Structure 1
Amino acid sequence: MKLKLLFIAILLIVSCAKKNKTAEVSAVTQQEIIENETISDDFQLEVYDYAGLEPFLNKKDDKIYVVNFWATWCAPCVKELPYFEKLNSEYKNQNVEVVLVSLDFPHLYDKKLKPFIKENNLVSKVIALDDADMNTWIPKVDESWSGSIPATVIYKNSERRFYEQSFNYEELETEVKQFIK
């Protein structure tokens, strides 16, 4: 089990080997900031274990959810974040909600994650996942997930698709449009 956990951790690190030098970490909820306003220095980051995150992966309210797993140290993740922010902005009136799930290390929340959120004015809901038992929660997100990031779940009620890849805006928008009926 420890070997599998180590393998998954290595996969996460290898999949995002290049550290984005501008990436620093910070998180906020949509209720805590208003679009086009700056994020306060004292905002509270929502931190959950998998049990706390699970409701965000299983809502049944006719809304389309785009849940992206990322980290500030993952260059492909950081590169695609503006596409998720644009999607959130352009589709919020079409019942689409973007949730960004940070897999940053807990000891770096204040030093890296929160500053990153603030500097990049992230408006989408940001959640930090603090659950070291990856062997248990990764297959619960999707049985095919190797654990590498970026990874995204798009779902509406019981219709669900999982993507273990990076997106550009057009690709992301195309996938979301399949859920808009």
Structure 2
Amino acid sequence: MQTKTNEIQVINFWATWCAPCVKELPLFEQLRTDNKKGDVKITLINLDFADKVNKVNAFLVKKKIQSSVLLLDEIDYNTWIDKVDQSWGGAIPATLIINPQNGKRKFVERELREGELEQLIEDVR
């Protein structure tokens, strides 16, 4: 799927073994369903490691996750965490929201609650 340059990017870092991550996944699915304008792109980046592909795929089917999911296979988190956000200590769930049109961005290193995701998107508009 090609990214439009004007889409707000919502990038969530999660894992199947992380209870708060699993708890907030429906928020991203609801946003995907509600995104009638098509101006928000959601990418879920799974940190279960590449050797867990079958486990992650089974989890996605069971939970009916239809958002775009990438499985990160770089186990040395120190090589990329600072590139996501300088303030990130490495805890998950973590969500990065970027508006490429105006350069605004928000980073949250905790579980999101209902309504927060939409507010963060509005904050970067």
Same fold (TM over 0.5): yes
Letter in 1 for 2:107: F
Distance 1:116 1:92 in 2: 26
Matching of residue 118 in structure 1 with residue 55 in structure 2 = no
Is this contact kept in 2: 1:84–1:169, CA < 8 A? no
- Choose 1 or 2 for highest CA Rg: 1
Give 1 or 2: higher helix fraction: 1
Root-mean-square deviation (Å): 1.8
SS in structure 2 of the partner of residue 172 of structure 1:
helix
Letter in 1 for 2:71: A
Distance 1:60 1:91 in 2: 14
Who is 2:11 aligned against?
67
- The sequence identity of aligned pairs, in percent, is 45
Unaligned stretches of 5+ in structure 1? Answer: 1-30, 32-58
Letter in 1 for 2:21: C
Match of 1:164 among 109, 112, 116: 109
TM-score under structure 2 length normalisation? 0.90
Distance 1:88 1:115 in 2: 20
Residue correspondence of structure 1 range 7-156 to structure 2 within 5 A: 61-110=5-54, 112-156=55-99
Displacement of 1:105: 2.4
Question: CA offsets, 1:13-35, max 9 Å, x none?
Answer: xxxxxxxxxxxxxxxxxx6xxxx
